[in-house]
Amino acid sequence: MDFIPEALNKKPEVLLIYTQRMIRGRTFEMIENLGILTLAAQLNANGFEAKAYTGITTDAVKTIKNMKDRLFAVCFCLRGMLPS
Protein backbone atom coordinates (compact mmCIF):
# COMPACT_ATOMS: atom_id res chain seq x y z
CA MET A 1 0.00 0.00 0.00
CA ASP A 2 1.44 3.33 -1.08
CA PHE A 3 0.07 5.38 1.80
CA ILE A 4 1.63 3.30 4.59
CA PRO A 5 4.92 4.82 5.82
CA GLU A 6 8.04 2.72 5.30
CA ALA A 7 8.42 2.42 9.09
CA LEU A 8 5.27 0.29 9.21
CA ASN A 9 6.25 -2.10 6.38
CA LYS A 10 8.74 -3.89 8.64
CA LYS A 11 9.07 -4.54 12.38
CA PRO A 12 7.92 -1.44 14.27
CA GLU A 13 11.01 0.26 15.76
CA VAL A 14 10.58 1.50 19.33
CA LEU A 15 13.03 3.66 21.26
CA LEU A 16 12.92 3.46 25.06
CA ILE A 17 14.67 6.38 26.73
CA TYR A 18 15.80 6.76 30.34
CA THR A 19 17.31 10.21 30.78
CA GLN A 20 18.92 12.14 33.59
CA ARG A 21 19.04 15.92 33.93
CA MET A 22 22.38 17.42 34.75
CA ILE A 23 22.14 20.00 37.55
CA ARG A 24 24.97 22.36 38.36
CA GLY A 25 26.82 21.46 41.53
CA ARG A 26 25.65 17.85 41.52
CA THR A 27 27.74 14.90 40.42
CA PHE A 28 26.46 13.04 37.39
CA GLU A 29 26.36 9.27 37.50
CA MET A 30 25.45 7.16 34.47
CA ILE A 31 22.93 4.51 35.45
CA GLU A 32 22.11 1.42 33.41
CA ASN A 33 18.41 0.84 33.87
CA LEU A 34 17.71 -2.89 34.08
CA GLY A 35 13.95 -2.30 33.80
CA ILE A 36 14.17 -0.49 30.47
CA LEU A 37 16.58 -3.11 29.09
CA THR A 38 14.20 -5.88 30.18
CA LEU A 39 11.27 -4.09 28.54
CA ALA A 40 13.27 -3.74 25.30
CA ALA A 41 14.03 -7.48 25.37
CA GLN A 42 10.33 -8.27 25.90
CA LEU A 43 9.30 -6.02 23.00
CA ASN A 44 11.93 -7.65 20.76
CA ALA A 45 10.55 -11.08 21.65
CA ASN A 46 7.07 -9.92 20.62
CA GLY A 47 7.76 -8.64 17.12
CA PHE A 48 9.15 -5.15 17.71
CA GLU A 49 12.62 -3.78 17.04
CA ALA A 50 13.21 -2.12 20.41
CA LYS A 51 16.27 -0.15 21.42
CA ALA A 52 17.09 1.30 24.84
CA TYR A 53 18.93 4.57 25.44
CA THR A 54 20.23 5.78 28.79
CA GLY A 55 22.03 9.09 29.15
CA ILE A 56 21.57 12.84 29.44
CA THR A 57 18.51 14.60 28.06
CA THR A 58 20.27 16.67 25.38
CA ASP A 59 21.85 13.57 23.85
CA ALA A 60 18.46 11.84 23.83
CA VAL A 61 17.10 14.61 21.58
CA LYS A 62 19.98 14.05 19.14
CA THR A 63 19.32 10.31 19.14
CA ILE A 64 15.62 10.84 18.34
CA LYS A 65 16.48 13.23 15.49
CA ASN A 66 18.84 10.65 13.99
CA MET A 67 16.22 7.89 14.16
CA LYS A 68 12.99 9.87 13.58
CA ASP A 69 12.21 8.47 10.12
CA ARG A 70 12.38 4.88 11.37
CA LEU A 71 10.59 5.21 14.72
CA PHE A 72 7.14 3.82 15.41
CA ALA A 73 7.12 5.00 19.06
CA VAL A 74 9.32 6.75 21.63
CA CYS A 75 8.85 6.12 25.36
CA PHE A 76 10.43 8.40 27.98
CA CYS A 77 11.37 8.06 31.63
CA LEU A 78 13.10 11.10 33.14
CA ARG A 79 15.14 10.85 36.31
CA GLY A 80 15.50 14.26 37.87
CA MET A 81 18.51 14.71 40.10
CA LEU A 82 16.95 16.95 42.71
CA PRO A 83 18.83 18.20 45.77
CA SER A 84 18.11 16.27 48.97
Average pLDDT over residues 49-63: 86
pLDDT band at 31 (very low <50, low <70, confident <90, very high): low
Domains of the chain by residue range: 12-57+70-79
Of 23 and 60, the structure prediction assigns the larger pLDDT to 60
Give the span between the Cα atoms of 43 and 40, in whole angstroms: 5
What is the value of pTM for the model shown?
A: 0.68
pLDDT of residue 49: 93
The pLDDT of residue 67 is above 80:
yes
Q: Is 43 exposed, middle or buried (0-12, 13-18, 19+ CB in 10 A)?
A: buried
Query: Are 57 and 78 a contacting pair, CB within 8 Å?
Result: yes
